[in-house]
Structure 1
Amino acid sequence: MTRRRGRGAAGRAVLTVVTAWGLLAGAALTGAAPAGAAPAIRRIAPGVGYRQFDIAGAAGTAHAHLLTVDLGNPRVRVGLLHPGAVGARATVSRLADAAGAIAGVNGDFFDITETQHPGVPATGAPVGPAVADGRVLKAAVPRGQRFGPALPPGTDTRDVFGVGTDRRARLDRLSLSGTVKTPKARLRLRGLNQYALPQNSVGAFTAAWGDVSRERAVCGTDTERAAPCSTDTYEVRLRGGRVVSAAGSPGSGAIPADTTVLVGREEGARQLRELAVGDRVTVTHTLVAAGSGVPYAFAIGGFPVLRHGRPLTGLDDGTSAVRTVVGFKGGGEQLLILALDGAAAYRTGLTVAEEAGTMRSLGASDAFNLDGGGSTEMVTRDAGAGAVTVRNHPSGGAERPVPNGVGVLPAG
């Protein structure tokens, strides 16, 4: 649910009320403290705190659930929650329990529906780049192929929030760099385990993709997600660095660890048709950071809303919604992970501009918007509990399966 309102109050969301501890999803939100009271913080694990409070937004009162994480504490870390395949989804609680997480929230926007392409299944794959435990899982889809609200000016599907091997959080941009070397040519690789490939390109799919169909990868254009699927496609299967089979259209099914599938569309398809069974083909790929050059232990897609203490220009200040956002302060050593509540009394939420203002008021220097609406969810684990507890009310009435999330994990 979203609500439109007039401009003029952008970024002026105000933290007003603190709620009592011990509330679980499904319970009434009560125990408000006077405006301006210092929010209580509950320590749920070494280096990890949790609190709740109200925010006065222009469209109404929003209720926030906030995790604070001290990355300087050697007993805690942050990583990517994911179901084991790029083209798969699971609820945040299931992802967190499988990882033994202390807490977690939902992550990137994703390919949730394909009503524009009848007969082509949605992949469930995320929009942006993803790195888990230092391993590159995927690259970003073209800007025109993304799902989610309009991107702020100057941002891109390649933008990420991540934590480097130096245990510092940062905002960055991760671009795919790769090649396909054939007996006749050296081609640029323009896709890696992503649900949409650029026009006239060649993309690679590995075991990390999963078993979902690759057909969606050749649908739409660089500027229009709903454009028809390409009729000029080709797929080549490599094993042990050699071509073992080919097909006139993208296939499906699990990809073995020793196998890479190349999918081409338009000019990319023409180039792949030059290959014959037995040809030697070498595929290389990596994600190149635009920032510090520190390798990423974890990275996830979305879009930035706050940089160096200043909200980005052009942030939406007219559409209020339930949202998830992550930020940091202290040079990237202190994380702030916020999820709004989707209960009926609070479902009006915040605008993106108000979200940025809220994170700045909490002390964040930088902040990054993740998927929201029915995807917004926060879970935490009580000491000794065998399963996590959902702390906010999902706005759809139940947990929505998502492709990934941000996990707060015990170190080691």
Structure 2
Amino acid sequence: MSIKSFRRIIKNIVLVSIILSLVAPFQAYAYQVNGNNVTEEIITQGVVLHSINLNTNEGPLNVYVLEADLSNPYVKIDTIIGSDGTLNKNQSVLDMAKRTGAVAAINGDFFQMAESGRTIGLAYQGGQLVESPALRNDMYGFGITEDKLPLLEIFNFTGQVVTEAGKSFPLAGINKPGYLLMNGLSSDVDALNMYTTLWGTTSRGKISGLTGVKVAVVRNGVVQQVLTDQPGVTIPQDGFVLQGHGLAAQFITDNMPVGTKVAASYSVAPHGDKLLAAVGGQALLVEDGHLPAYFTQNISGKVARTAVGVSSDGKTLYLVAVERKAAADGTIISRGMSQEELAEFLISIGVWRAVNLDGGGSTTMAARSLGDFEASLINQPQGSSLRSVADAIGVFSTAPQGSLHGMALSGPSLALAGTQASFSAKGYDQYYNPVSIKPADIKWSATPSGDFTGNVLIPKQGGTVTVTAKLDNVQSSVNVQVVGPESLLSLAVTPSAITVKPGEKVPLSAKVNTIYGDTFDLKFQDVTWTISGSIGKIADGSFTATDQVAEGEIKATFQGLSTSIPVTVKPSWVELQALPEQESSAGLDSWIHVTFPASSVSAPATIRLAYAAETTGLPANCINLGAITVSPAPGEKADLMAPWWLSWDYQPGTITGRPAILMWDDSTKKWEEQPARLDDQGEVKTISARVWGFGQLVLVDDHRRLPSFKDTGKHWAEAAINDLAARGVANGFPDGTFLPGQAVTRAQFVKLLSSALQWPAVEKLPAFKDSIPDWASSAVAAAVANGVVSGYPDGTFRPDASITRSEMAVMIDRALALQETDENLKYKDTGSIPDFARTAVAKATSAGLLQGEGGLFRPKDGATRAETAVVVSRVLKLWVEK
């Protein structure tokens, strides 16, 4: 069939499918063809590859058809067996084709994947029987005789083994693995099988589920050894191994002692004596140009499939591979076919008789492109990799080596004026077989315009350009469509804006869009790059920033189009000088600000503010809205005498939960919430935190469920208790209670103050005579370091003693450095206030932190957990508003 005729048939697939749906006993195409594209490629003289891409209502469908002219004297069809010409080890079809020099190949018979990897049907290679047919009447095979007569039939096998005494037993098969007979029984039961070196190096050995299996090793026609239920034995080069079970095993025992002469004979029909090549298959798909009355076997589903067919005159062989493939995201690359659809497709392209071969993950087609010396993969395998199979149908060229006749050119069919387009050429002879040529000897030219440097074309203007390669007296040409400046729409550069650190390198890329919707990626050298401002330099496809802070732009120009890239060179951090005697501040972009008040550091220090590269381990349901680090610059040391301020701006609507600033605490290995206030006036909202330490901080949108306790519902202190619990300052008990009426100890109050104000951890623990509980030790140490507590004159701290309201006032005053007040205490029990606490009580009262009740302050009374929560909540509010 000519290429033109084949293309005409493919274009009529839709019409054919409609006709078939009216007359075929099977369901016709389950898909509707909306369009098709067919390409043809000569593989060698007499062999053409048709790549058929159908656009169906169920997605793309790709089918590949190798068409071989059997009347061509240089076309040879032969079977390729395994990885070494035997059934011992399987190999991929691609590697089989490369190993044997086949110009094309397609996978063959069904095979046992789990047991031995051997084929189930027959196999002939080079006129030699490799494996006999299965003793079934529902498995068709493909064969071709020495005079190129193709056969698609059910092949039969008969054979027998005869001893020198004239005793004989039927031979069930040669080099057969186990399989099921038509009656459902194992082919090994009561059967005698022969194994030659084409099976492999050793015989089958033990057969699963069967006992009493006898093996006779025959060499030069004489029995050398008889074994029972033994592993596989070495198969002699000059002999064979007979293996029998049941009646066959008894025959070996009774008639074949060591030293007995035996002979074997067999025949395969039809034309077994003339077969050059053969592979087994499955159902007959097409019979006399029509669907058969029924399929002897049917593998359901839309999968990858393989078939072999012939034309009505027996002169054209068709090897067909249907592709089934999906991308990683599930997108269909090719939908595959059902067995019925494959049969109808074969009829539509003119196949007269066809047999189904192994499909699914086995479906593989390889072919040698024009000018190539080796075959390459044609279809995409259904699985993730190429499957090793037992045999393949190989297509070979027997033509003699010819002289250079033509060149196959490769290169872009669409090019852009002013850019480089590379071309290559591969030589072939008059038989379309490869000829080695030297690329340097090829002369390239372009008409009507275009400059070649070696094999690289730079077209000058838009339009059709003919590229010609010439070597000696042989030349070949291809047409290239060139897009000129008049068809360009826009130039785009990536990145479109650059903000980098000093000295940083950024790769640059560019592309142009055409008025036709095409996009061309430009090479770096195709574009003219210019720089304004002292921002750095451009070389080797990248921009390298200057070592200084700078601003400017990069301008890219191509074929009259231009675009500019704004460039900002600045460090990824900012630094400020924190001074003891004055306030210092700095900002990171326009939404993060840091302020170190006067006296916050003991000595001048350089503080670096930078975005954090990575943040992990945030509490669940806390959404990260940005992370920074605030630390002394490398090589610097800073001793904090007071906390510093962090202000973080954010847009309304950005945070839908509770805004919070968290800081990583290396001592607790946790994120700790920093005391903060909100300013939600105006268009931009701000959260400001007082931070007493250095490290990584993150702004979060806190969607954690607000804590609640069993015993605080409708309690007068409920709001304060829940607020402290949400911040992680106060905790309840394991049974879900808060116990608001329980008295608070000195250690507990110090722990609450430390958690609320986030005092930094200190290394040196205070030397009190009494023991401080582990859970309070770091808080007490921080309180001592910050001058909040000092203990009693006798050197004790008394952590478990109930704290008095007077002691609370003193600790709060020292922690907050409350303002002096001229107001006199007006409590009825003022005289009962200890001298050490009078000033602190006055300050705390004036600040609204501590209040009496009924005109009494009750200086020596203790405080409940509820009262303490309210006080600490007031302390926290005042702390962040100072």
TM over 0.5: yes
Q: 1:269 aligns with which of 245, 249, 253?
A: 249
Corresponding letter in the other structure for 1:322:
A
Distance 1:318 1:191 in 2: 30
Q: Percent identity?
A: 26
Match of 1:208?
Answer: 198
- The change in CA–CA distance for 1:199 and 1:333 in structure 2 (over 3 A counts) is same
- Counterpart mapping for 1:235-384 below 5 A: 235-249=215-229, 251-252=231-232, 254-274=234-254, 275-289=256-270, 295-303=274-282, 304-315=284-295, 316=298, 318-344=300-326, 345-384=332-371
Distance 1:254 1:101 in 2: 31
SS at match of 1:270: helix
Match of 1:199?
Answer: 189
Distance 1:294 1:243 in 2: 27
- Counterpart mapping for 1:63-212 below 5 A: 63-83=62-82, 84-113=85-114, 122-143=115-136, 155-157=137-139, 159-182=140-163, 183=165, 185-196=167-178, 197-211=187-201
Q: Which has the higher contact order (CA 8 A, sep 6+)?
A: 1
Deviation of 1:357 after TM superposition, in Å, equals 0.4
Match of 2:724?
Answer: none
Indicate the larger mover: 397-406 or 80-89: 80-89
Deviation of 1:318 after TM superposition, in Å, equals 5.0
Distance 1:96 1:318 in 2: 29
Corresponding letter in the other structure for 2:121:
G
Corresponding letter in the other structure for 1:332:
G
Distance 1:160 1:369 in 2: 9
Match of 2:376?
Answer: 389
Distance 1:366 1:354 in 2: 15
Corresponding letter in the other structure for 1:201:
A
Equivalent pair of 1:165/1:297 in contact (CA under 8 Å): yes
Corresponding letter in the other structure for 1:203:
N
Corresponding letter in the other structure for 1:307:
E
SS at match of 1:397: coil
Corresponding letter in the other structure for 1:103:
A
Distance 1:62 1:262 in 2: 48
Indicate the larger mover: 398-407 or 244-253: 244-253
Indicate the larger mover: 160-169 or 373-382: 160-169
- The change in CA–CA distance for 1:383 and 1:52 in structure 2 (over 3 A counts) is closer
Equivalent pair of 1:166/1:294 in contact (CA under 8 Å): no
Q: Which runs of 5+ in 2 are unaligned?
A: 1-24, 179-186, 327-331, 400-882
Equivalent pair of 1:307/1:366 in contact (CA under 8 Å): yes
Match of 2:29?
Answer: 12
Distance 1:57 1:169 in 2: 33
Distance 2:367 2:299 in 1: 30
Equivalent pair of 1:238/1:259 in contact (CA under 8 Å): yes
Equivalent pair of 1:103/1:380 in contact (CA under 8 Å): yes
Distance 2:278 2:226 in 1: 33
Equivalent pair of 2:91/2:389 in contact (CA under 8 Å): yes
Distance 1:9 1:59 in 2: 20
Distance 1:15 1:411 in 2: 42
- The change in CA–CA distance for 1:294 and 1:209 in structure 2 (over 3 A counts) is closer
Equivalent pair of 1:301/1:370 in contact (CA under 8 Å): yes
1:161-199 deviations in whole A, cap 9, x for unaligned? 111122122212222221111225111111110102442
- Counterpart mapping for 1:13-92 below 5 A: 16=33, 34-35=35-36, 39-55=38-54, 60-83=59-82, 84-92=85-93
Distance 2:31 2:317 in 1: 20
Equivalent pair of 1:12/1:57 in contact (CA under 8 Å): no
Distance 2:129 2:31 in 1: 39
Corresponding letter in the other structure for 2:195:
F
Q: Which runs of 5+ in 1 are unaligned?
A: 1-7, 18-33, 114-121, 144-154, 220-228
SS at match of 1:215: coil
Equivalent pair of 1:213/1:250 in contact (CA under 8 Å): no
SS at match of 1:359: helix
Equivalent pair of 1:210/1:253 in contact (CA under 8 Å): no
SS at match of 1:41: strand
Distance 1:58 1:41 in 2: 24
Give the TM-score normalised by structure 1: 0.80
Match of 1:403?
Answer: 390
Deviation of 1:347 after TM superposition, in Å, equals 5.0
Deviation of 1:50 after TM superposition, in Å, equals 0.8
Equivalent pair of 2:304/2:337 in contact (CA under 8 Å): yes
Indicate the larger mover: 44-53 or 316-325: 316-325
Radius of gyration: which is bigger? 2
SS at match of 2:77: strand
Distance 1:253 1:317 in 2: 36
Equivalent pair of 1:9/1:317 in contact (CA under 8 Å): no
Distance 1:134 1:102 in 2: 20
- The change in CA–CA distance for 1:208 and 1:58 in structure 2 (over 3 A counts) is farther
Query: Over aligned residues, Cα RMSD in angstroms?
Result: 2.5
Deviation of 1:57 after TM superposition, in Å, equals 7.1
1:355-399 deviations in whole A, cap 9, x for unaligned? 110000000001111111111011111234232110111111211
SS at match of 1:40: strand
Match of 1:152?
Answer: none
Corresponding letter in the other structure for 2:339:
V
- The change in CA–CA distance for 1:12 and 1:294 in structure 2 (over 3 A counts) is farther
1:217-248 deviations in whole A, cap 9, x for unaligned? x44xxxxxxxxx21121000011111110110
Indicate the larger mover: 100-109 or 334-343: 334-343
